[in-house]
């Protein structure tokens, strides 16, 4: 696209597409040129959606740049969570952590894994829902995907688990049913092996906002089940070891 990039206009278009449950090809968008422009658009999108939860997802771009996006809508399963279902909606089982103290940006020595673990006050089982307004998600322009909140379309926080789950999640028996059908049954597996890999990368990223990774923030850490498309609405039941998380996805 040749037009001048306008982060507010991109955010408005993404917001409209989400409201209409529609997707468009990457080639139809004016693309952010760098992470700063992508985050500007993401911030405008978050404002348009009225996001107030202090809950975030972290990942790394294909070039190794750590990135984050707010989770929305955010629900806690204890209150009977129900997330909107849309065609193309995907599901991921995840581990989430809540920070008990700040991890400020610092120069020089990188945060070690032990330091990040020490800053975590509690650990939870969670579920992320994903559907992007971009047909190719981040496959063509990862920066455009960053602007679209990394494809997040909902998050359900489940029960608290032992803090040691950040060390032992990989290999834990995981069974997921949706609308009465088993959609995952096997060991939990994170793409990087260690569920904290992307959080540690983000903690050590000097380009992240000064306001990020403050005490009280909830951060989800990446899929343990792969991304599974939910072809219809229905109840979801997750059994991770002996911990259960149940919620529904329903037509809005």
Residue 11 covered by a domain = no
Residue 13 covered by a domain = no
Which two structure tokens, joined as six digits, stand for 47? 């404002």
SS3 200: helix
Which residue's structure tokens are 């911030």?
Answer: 43
* Distance separating alpha carbons of residues 182 and 199, to the nearest angstrom: 30
pTM: 0.94
Residue 24 is classified by DSSP as B
Residue 22 covered by a domain = no
Q: Which domain holds residue 198?
A: 51-251
The count of structural domains within the chain is 1
Q: What is residue 79's predicted lDDT score, i.e. its pLDDT?
A: 62
Residue 27 covered by a domain = no
Q: What is residue 197's predicted lDDT score, i.e. its pLDDT?
A: 97
pLDDT tier for residue 1 given thresholds of 50, 70 and 90: very low
Residue 14 covered by a domain = no
* Distance separating alpha carbons of residues 205 and 203, to the nearest angstrom: 6
Q: Is-contact 123 116, C-beta < 8 A?
A: no
Give residue-wise pLDDT tens across range 65-110. 999 999 999 998 876 789 999 899 999 999 999 999 999 999 889 9
Residue 41 covered by a domain = no
Nearest to 220 by CA among 86, 99, 48: 99
- The CATH number for 231's domain is 3.90.850.10
């Amino acid at each position: 696209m040749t037009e001048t990039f306008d982060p507010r206009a991109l955010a408005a278009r993404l917001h409209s597409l989400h409201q209409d449950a529609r997707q468009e090809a990457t080639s139809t968008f004016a693309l952010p040129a760098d992470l700063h422009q992508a985050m500007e658009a993401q911030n405008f999108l978050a404002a348009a959606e009225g996001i107030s939860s202090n809950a975030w997802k972290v990942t790394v771009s294909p070039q190794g740049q750590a990135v984050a996006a707010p989770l929305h809508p955010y629900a806690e399963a204890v209150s009977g969570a129900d997330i909107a279902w849309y065609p193309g909606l995907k599901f991921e089982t995840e581990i989430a952590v809540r920070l008990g103290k700040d991890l400020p940006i610092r120069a020089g020595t990188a945060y070690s894994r032990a330091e990040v673990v020490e800053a975590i006050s509690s650990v939870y089982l969670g579920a992320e829902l994903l559907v992007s307004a971009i047909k190719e998600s981040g496959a063509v322009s990862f920066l455009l995907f960053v602007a679209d909140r990394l494809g997040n379309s909902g998050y359900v926080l489940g029960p608290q688990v032992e803090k040691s789950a950040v060390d032992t999640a990989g290999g834990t028996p995981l069974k997921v049913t949706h609308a009465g059908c088993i959609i995952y049954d096997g060991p939990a597996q994170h793409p990087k092996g260690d569920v904290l890999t992307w959080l540690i990368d983000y903690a050590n990223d000097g380009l992240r906002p000064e306001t990020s990774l403050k005490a009280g923030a909830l951060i989800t850490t990446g899929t343990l089940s792969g991304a599974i498309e939910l072809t219809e609405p229905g109840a979801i039941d997750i059994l991770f070891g002996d911990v259960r998380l149940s919620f529904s996805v329903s037509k809005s």
